[in-house]
Amino acid sequence: MITAIVLAGGVGKRMGMEIPKQFVMVNEKPIIIYTLESFDRHPKIDQVVVVCKQGWADTMWGYIREFGIKKVKWVISGGSIVQKSINNAVQFLSDKCVEDDIVVIHDGIRPLVDEHVLSDVIVKCQEYGNAVTSLPYNEQIFIKETEKTTNKYIDRNTLRRVSTPQAYKYEVLHDAYDEAISQNIGMVDSAYTNTMMVDLGHTLYFAAGSDKNIKLTTTDDLALFKAYLREKEL
């Protein structure tokens, strides 16, 4: 059994919009629905739980029905930060997953997740116990000296950028969140499952990423997404 946790709890501050960015309409379809369609299409995904901003569950269910999304079984409420939202989902799944089940965690505002990216994260998780989508860098990475200046960089060949999807075995994930919550480890605003796992001493395994799998956080990203959709239609 493979379950996906899809996070749809953001607020869209950086896009300067009044509705949460995952509900922004692109070609008359909310961004989150494009994401859920990717999971509906993937043959290995059995069921999906969507973690929503409080007060938006009815809207979410409305869209799920309107666009015929089949694999979403539950819509639950998120927390104040992304880590609390993921934890809510992990706790919620405690009577729905068994220890070796794979759980795939994904950002709702990454609608361009390819089938091969989802497949690789699942296959690698089966092999190694976990897997995180990752890519090398082709830009230089500098350490801020101040908000305006830098005088130090990091060799980009020593780094990889990790995004979602990420896959974990359910029991390990559940135990990790229990430990992290009780000891307040890896629960800051910029944290995610991957950083928390490392904080807890786990080693993570890289899976293949895709440059197309962008996170839609700015209006530039949104323009790229729209452009990409149009290209696909042709």
Give me the residues that bind its own copies (CB under 8 A), please.
Answer: 132, 134, 137-145, 147-163, 190, 192, 194-195, 198, 201-206, 210-212, 214-215, 217-218, 220-221, 223-224, 226-232, 234
Q: Give Dmax over CA atoms of the chain in angstroms.
A: 53
182 is in an annotated binding site: no
82 is in an annotated binding site: yes
Cα radius of gyration (the chain): 18
152 is in an annotated binding site: no
Question: Would you say 1 or 223 has its CB closer to its own copies?
Answer: 223
Question: Would you say 88 or 163 has its CB closer to its own copies?
Answer: 163
For 16: left if phi > 0, alpha if psi spans -120 to 50, otherwise beta; the answer is: left
Helix (H, G, I), strand (E, B) or coil at 219: helix
CB-count burial class (<10 Å; 0-12, 13-18, 19+) for 192 = buried
Question: Would you say 32 or 162 has its CB closer to its own copies?
Answer: 162
12 is in an annotated binding site: no
Quick one: CA torsion of 102, 105, 112, 15, rounded to 10 degrees?
170
Q: Are 205 and 124 in contact (CB under 8 A)?
A: yes
Question: Would you say 66 or 127 has its CB closer to its own copies?
Answer: 127
Question: Would you say 55 or 152 has its CB closer to its own copies?
Answer: 152
- Smallest separation, CB 212 to its own copies (Å): 5
- Smallest separation, CB 26 to its own copies (Å): 12
- Smallest separation, CB 78 to its own copies (Å): 18
62 is in an annotated binding site: no
9 is in an annotated binding site: yes
Q: Are 135 and 209 in contact (CB under 8 A)?
A: yes
- Smallest separation, CB 66 to its own copies (Å): 26
Query: For residues 167 and 174, what is the distance between their CA atoms, to the nearest angstrom?
Result: 13
Query: For residues 199 and 144, what is the distance between their CA atoms, to the nearest angstrom?
Result: 23
Q: Are 109 and 52 in contact (CB under 8 A)?
A: no
190 is in an annotated binding site: no
- Smallest separation, CB 42 to its own copies (Å): 19
Query: For residues 230 and 227, what is the distance between their CA atoms, to the nearest angstrom?
Result: 5
List, as residue ranges, the binding site for CTP.
7-10, 79-85
List, as residue ranges, the binding site.
7-10, 79-85
